[in-house]
Amino acid sequence: MVAQSKTEREDEGGQSTLSISTESVRMNPDLRNSKTKLRQERHELTDEELNTYILARLQQLGVDLSVLPEDDGDAPADQRRILASARRFLRATPPEISALELDALGPAPVLYPSEMSVWNLE
């Protein structure tokens, strides 16, 4: 996936390569602008702000990271690396997915697309 990640970054650089072929999907130019805006916004979110968001969400679920060492590169997991990974995830994944505009009358969510494709056969 490394190569694809690089390509994505290139594609996100204001090019129109994110246009979608299926009629029910489109990358609205305004949304693409707002995606750029989203990227700017996420740069404005500091590590501390994201950490607060992450820890609040985990606390709400009852998941406690404080049992991990704070910063120990020799440990299987520590709070520093877990939070760093989570911050990177939040800065990339949700914005990119939400930036894809789908027609409200487009396809419904499908958990098993390959099966659905044959279940629909006459």
Partner 1 sequence: MSEVDRRVFVERMASLSATAMISPALLGSQISNTRLPVTQTNGGYTGANIKLPQIQVRQVTDPTELTIVEAAILIRRGEISPVELTQAYLSRIDDWEEVYQAFNTILYESALESARNVHPQRDHPLAGIPLAIKDNFFTAGVRTTANSFIFEDFTPNFDATSWARLRDAGGILLGKTQMGPLATTAATTPTGTRTTVNAWAPFTENVSPGGSSSGSATAVASRMAPCGTGTQTGGSITNPSNAQGLTGIKPTMGRVSLHGILPLTYTRDHVGPLARDARDAALMLQIMAGPDPADLRTLGLPPVPDYLAAVDISRQKRPLRKPFRIGVLPDYLDEPEHETGYFAAREEEEEQRDREREQRAQRTHERNVATTAARGEMLRTLEELGAEIVEVQAPRDWTTLTSSSFNNVRLPERSEIFLEYLRDDVRQFGVSLSPWINGLLLPATEYVRGQRARFILLESILEEIFTQCDAVVQTAPYPFDMVGLPLVAFPIGFETNSAGVPRPIGAMLGGTPYSEDSLLTIAAAYQQATDWHLRRPANPDHLRPDAPSGPRSPGRIDLLDVMELGQ
Dihedral of CA atoms 29, 35, 36, 37 in degrees, nearest 10, equals: 110
Strands 101-102 and 25-26: antiparallel
Q: Is 48 in the site for partner 1 (CB under 8 A)?
A: no
Among 17, 46, 52, 59, binds partner 1 (CB under 8 A): 17
Q: Distance (Å, rounded) from C-alpha 80 to C-alpha 73? A: 9
Residue count, binding to partner 1 (CB under 8 A):
61
Does 14 interact with partner 1 (rule: CB under 8 A)?
A: no
Nearer to partner 1, 4 or 30 (CB): 4
CB-side neighbour CA atoms (13 Å) of 23: 1
| Site of interaction with partner 1 (CB under 8 A) | 1-9, 11, 17-22, 24-25, 54, 57-58, 61-65, 67-68, 76-78, 81-82, 84-86, 88-90, 92-94, 96-98, 100, 102, 106-119
